Chain A
């Protein structure tokens, strides 16, 4: 990672987090189907420049902490046809997460 300005890490692995339901358009890396959903931080993936600003020729600083968030499939899709133990993981930037616990 770089030595550039980085937002402080607000969440830790194992913590329950909520993806903010925000109607962001443009170059946004938070898929619509995960907005408003609750998951658990699986790991911290480092810090990266904010793609929502980078895409518009901004520096994207401070860098955003990126989390791997693990969701139960049954949380995402009420009629999920597979076993209740199936999961989906996605990488979500800190600005899209809030504590759910």
Chain B
């Protein structure tokens, strides 16, 4: 019972300063989240939620608690897992063999709805994850998926021409490296373990984690210390 398939991307990012008053600068106000008629899905969600509460199946507290749980799962949590795998060979071995158990060792409970597998990028194989049927994603670790992960364009194109899609993300996979697409069609959710970048010897787990982006754990990015340095 979450609202995670409910994206409101209104493209109203305003980077410029606002000086309203007298300069003739006008623009439409940002649309309120709940302005206008509800969509059919919003009506459906509200109706079912109200019925479940009225009939005592769920309480509002339980729904809020589940939303809080989902909000506590973020790419930063996944980055900690990756950094630990880079730093601790025994943990990495367990993560590869028993992802659920390794995450539990870090205090991360992935629940019972799906199993997790970790797939490791190597010098020979670059992995990328998709769900062509819907939007299966390791939510109990990484939180809600990005909107593009659920888009028809990504879901259909990454299986047909993954190298072109990866290139659009800025990932150039050399000809000699296999691209392996993982279509998470069933009960398993996939976490990509990226390769530890060269030049990061001696880095602390926290500093390593700062390199690991959400997309790196989907397979659509490569951790890059140069980008981190440029951002500082």
Contact = CB atoms under 8 A, between A and B. Distances in A.
A64 to B, nearest CB: 9
Contacts of A82: 161-163, 179
A66 B133 contact: no
B106 interface: no
B182 A89 contact: yes
Given A29-B186, A48-B187, A87 B181 contact: yes
Contacts of A88: 159, 180-183
Q: Is the interface of B mostly helix, strand, loop or mixed?
A: mixed
Interface in A20-68: 29-31, 33, 45-46, 48, 51, 66, 68
A89 B186 contact: no
Could you say which of B160, B161, B186 has the most chain A C-beta atoms within 10 Å of its C-beta? B186
Interface string B149-193: 000000000011111100000000001101111111111100000
Contacts of B162: 82, 86
Given A29-B133, A33-B159, A88-B159, A66 B186 contact: yes
B132 interface: yes
A46 B115 contact: yes
Interface residues of A, number: 26
Contacts of A48: 186-187
Interface residues of B, number: 23
A89 B183 CA distance: 6
Contacts of B182: 88-90
A82 B173 CA distance: 10
A61 B164 CA distance: 41
Nearest to A47: B187
Could you say which of A45, A66, A80, A88 has the most chain B C-beta atoms within 10 Å of its C-beta? A88
A93 B183 contact: no
Contacts of B181: 73, 86-89
Contact of A45 (B176, B179, B183, B187): B187
Nearest to B187: A48
B199 to A, nearest CB: 28
B164 A81 contact: yes
Interface of A: 29-31, 33, 45-46, 48, 51, 66, 68, 73, 76-77, 80-83, 85-93
Interface of B: 115, 117, 132-133, 159-164, 175-176, 178-188
29 contacts: A29-B185, A30-B185, A31-B132, A31-B133, A33-B159, A45-B117, A45-B186, A45-B187, A46-B115, A46-B187, A66-B187, A66-B188, A77-B160, A80-B161, A82-B161, A82-B162, A82-B179, A83-B176, A83-B178, A85-B178, A86-B180, A87-B178, A87-B179, A88-B181, A89-B180, A89-B181, A91-B186, A92-B185, A92-B186
Given A80-B161, A91-B183, 11 more contacts: A45-B186, A46-B115, A51-B186, A68-B188, A87-B181, A89-B182, A90-B182, A90-B185, A91-B185, A91-B187, A92-B185
